[in-house]
Amino acid sequence: MATSREKLLASAAKEIYTYGFQGAGLSKILAEAGVPKGSLYHHFKSKKELALAVIEERIAPGMLELFSSLESDQPLQTSLHHAIDIIASSERLITYGCPLNKLIQEMAPLDEDFSKLLSDTYESLIEKVTAAVRRADEKGELRTDNPEGVGRFLFLTIWSYLAIPPTLSSKEDFLSLKPHLDRYLASFQK
């Protein structure tokens, strides 16, 4: 059975993803979580602290999990295809876009704590892809003298799709990234 803290995090994650931090209503969060207001302030000092916990404990781990296939011993191309398949299978991501992107646009200019946490999360995502590129380079799958640049490019190519308006995105369009990434990766082969 979920604790009141877990219920608050789940409810707040949904509300913040849908309406942004500033549009998220505490009364809606509390009603969906089914907990009294005192429970909120028992676990979090403020709406901001709740939102930062949502990013750190729900959104960031969820986004990192999307690229978990890159930690396997599979070839880089196979791992990237798997990551794309996982992202494409999330109707919510395809329809509503990246929750990190929405929050960084909304809150980074306004609050240093949000800016740092969101930027650190993006850097973790980029590093996950970059580490996979380094491994592929070490195994001889590709040759590059700039794994950081290749990793950043690959991540941004995949992730930037989630920043376009939902009316311009579809699962099929997202999956069409695969052959383009394949051609890019082929340019680094021996």
Overall number of domains in the chain? 2
Tell whether the model's pLDDT for residue 190 goes beyond 70.
no
Say if residue 179 is in the same domain as residue 118: yes
Q: Which two tokens stand for residue 71?
A: 């930690």
For residues 44 and 129, membership in a common domain is answered with no
Same domain, 99 and 49: no
- CB-count exposure of residue 167 (10 Å: 0-12, 13-18, 19+): exposed
Q: Answer positive or negative: Cα dihedral of 55, 79, 129, 168.
A: negative
For 112, the domain range is 67-186
Same domain for 107 and 46: no
Mean pLDDT across the stretch 26-42? Answer: 94
- What pLDDT, in 10s, does the model give residues 112-152? 999 999 999 999 999 999 999 999 999 999 999 999 999 99
How far apart CA 91 and CA 171 sit, in angstroms, is: 8
Indicate if the pLDDT at residue 169 is higher than 80: no
Position 180 pLDDT exceeds 80 = yes
pLDDT tens for 53-97 read 999 999 999 999 999 999 989 999 999 999 999 999 998 888 888
Helices (H), 24-98: 26-33, 37-43, 47-54, 60-66, 76-88, 91-96
CATH number of the domain where residue 92 is located = 1.10.357
